[in-house]
Amino acid sequence: MESKYQITAKQLAFLDRFLKKYNFGSEDDKIELKDHIISDFETNGNGNLSQYLSEELGFINKFIGSKLQVIHKTYRRKTIDEAIGFFTSIKKLPITVAVFLTIYFLTINLNGKTLIILFYVSVLSFFTYSQFFLNIKKKDRKKLDRIEYLGQEMWLPYIMLVFPLHIATTTDFDFINSVFFSVYWFVAIAYSFAAIRVMKKEKKIIYNKYKHLLN
């Protein structure tokens, strides 16, 4: 590729400040974005970096936005696939059935208050584990979006915590269908477990793939 202009050290420092000031994504994003901007500026720019950046602002914003969207969608798809695997894998199916039957057994035999406490303890345990015990360093989250958004799929079980709280405070638990509550509890646990499995797998891949950035 032929460059018609060579970026100066002063312009390079300006670009660094620009990307830092507007907080455009993680360090990983900045590497790619910076290289693209410099390559295009050196090939097609007119020497005025400030003007070039104003013209490219739309692309820069879209670059970060679309990347985050891809990350979210990928984690969601992988978590759903993992959860579906609990029903389609011959190895996992007996465990899935056993877990559901245990939940159902508890639902029909325990009183409402104990059940709600058990529900909270089980779902919150998964949530706490996913957020605090996966040993992801805080500084690594800033370096890579893929790490920062690794635990995002725990949003569903977290939201599911609200409904039983509502029942406990406003309704008599006996009115709630035990099959419905069993399925509800089971979905919260299965999705949490699937999300944690995806987090662990992805963490291993990311730390291997991006060791240049994280070490």
Partner 1 sequence: MYICVMGNQKLFKGSLQTIILKLLAQNDKMYGYEITQKVKELTKGELKITEGALYPALHKLEADGLLDVEVAKIGNRLRKYYKLTEHGTKETANKLAEMQEFLKTMQHLVNPKFSLE
Residues that bind partner 1 (CB under 8 A): 1, 7, 9, 12, 28, 31-32, 34-36, 38-40, 43, 58-59, 62-63, 66-67, 69-71, 74, 209-210, 212-213
Cα–Cα distances in Å, from 93 out to 70, 79, 88, 105, 174?
Answer: 30, 17, 7, 18, 30
Q: What is the rounded CA–CA span in Å between residue 119 and residue 58?
A: 46
Nearer to partner 1, 103 or 206 (CB): 206
Q: 159, 187 in Cβ contact below 8 A? A: no
Give least dist CB 46 to partner 1, A. 18
Nearer to partner 1, 11 or 107 (CB): 11
Q: Which two three-digit tokens encode residue 144?
A: 């890579």
Give least dist CB 106 to partner 1, A. 38
Give least dist CB 190 to partner 1, A. 23
Q: What is the separation, in whole angstroms, between the first and last Cα of the chain?
A: 32
Nearer to partner 1, 113 or 201 (CB): 201
Give least dist CB 9 to partner 1, A. 8
Give least dist CB 189 to partner 1, A. 26
> Rounded to the nearest 5°, which phi and psi values hold at 25?
65, -170
Unique residue bearing structure tokens 């920062």: 148
Which residue type, as a one-letter code, is found at position 66?
S
Nearer to partner 1, 69 or 102 (CB): 69
Nearer to partner 1, 67 or 190 (CB): 67
Q: What is the rounded CA–CA span in Å between residue 150 and residue 34?
A: 25
Q: What is the rounded CA–CA span in Å between residue 174 and residue 180?
A: 12
Q: What is the rounded CA–CA span in Å between residue 151 and residue 61?
A: 24
Q: What is the rounded CA–CA span in Å between residue 152 and residue 78?
A: 12
Nearer to partner 1, 2 or 172 (CB): 2
Give least dist CB 28 to partner 1, A. 8
